[in-house]
Amino acid sequence: MGQVTAGRPVRILLADDQPLLRAGFRMVLGTHDDLDVVAEAGDGQETVELSRRLLPDVVLMDIRMPRLDGLAATRAIVDARLPVRVLILTTFDLDEYVVGALRAGASGFLTKDVPAEDLVTAIRTVAAGEAVLAPRILKRLLTRFADALPDPAFTPPKVLGTLTEREREVLVQVARGLSNAEIAVALSISETTIKTHVGHVLTKLGLRDRVQAVVLAYETGLVRPQR
């Protein structure tokens, strides 16, 4: 997915079946000059159609919607290879929704009680090509993975075999939540080199962003949550 061109507002599509909620989001986002709500959708099918036609930078996507739910709509947008990133915003932070959203290709997952400024920051982050997860959701997600992880002596899955030793080191640091700058310090190499390694990791593993890299690292047992 391409990143937003510098100097123009982030174009946003609001997808929620409740008009009052869409109005509230529009009012909050309208106070920021660098954000522009270009359209609204009341169901998943309309969201996909508007995404194809308008190519917004970010879709704020509800999960429970008529005709097509948010996860299916996200998958349709991703499968169509549109230059559109999806930020799930829902009342429900159930584990199956989180995992489903990330596997469908969403770039982030927040609950609707998120503070307004955190929502704005998340939109900017996703538009810039990164990914976001609410801290409490990430913590619960990793706890779930910890309960299902194999023994520490496990054999890494073949998919990780495509990475060089350095790339695996970088993936471990990404999974531990470190930024590129922090990884550069930890591994004593330049931040530019780290950015290149992260790009190679995402490409080789077929991942869209850092959140999916974190999930894969924990799912495969490459990294284990701290108890």
**Tens-digit pLDDT profile for residues 105-132:** 888 888 888 889 989 998 998 898 877 7
Where is the domain boundary, 141, 159, 194? 141
The CATH number for 106's domain is 3.40.50.2300
Query: Does residue 120 sit in the same domain as residue 25?
Result: yes
* Residue of 145, 117, 119, 103 lying closest to 60 (CA atoms): 119
CA distance 188 to 136: 31
Of the pLDDT bands very low, low, confident and very high (cuts 50, 70, 90), residue 225 is low
How many other CB atoms are found less than 10 A from the CB of residue 28? 15
Give Cα separations from 201 to 44, 91, 214 (angstroms).
32, 33, 11
Total number of domains constituting the chain:
2
- Confirm whether 67 is domain-assigned: yes
What's the DSSP call for residue 160?
G
State the residue range of the domain holding 196.
149-219
Check: CB of residue 103 under 8 Å from CB of residue 97. no
What predicted TM-score, i.e. pTM, was given to this entire model?
0.69
CA distance 145 to 128: 28
Q: Residue 178: is its pLDDT beyond 60?
A: yes
Share of the chain above pLDDT 90, in %: 45
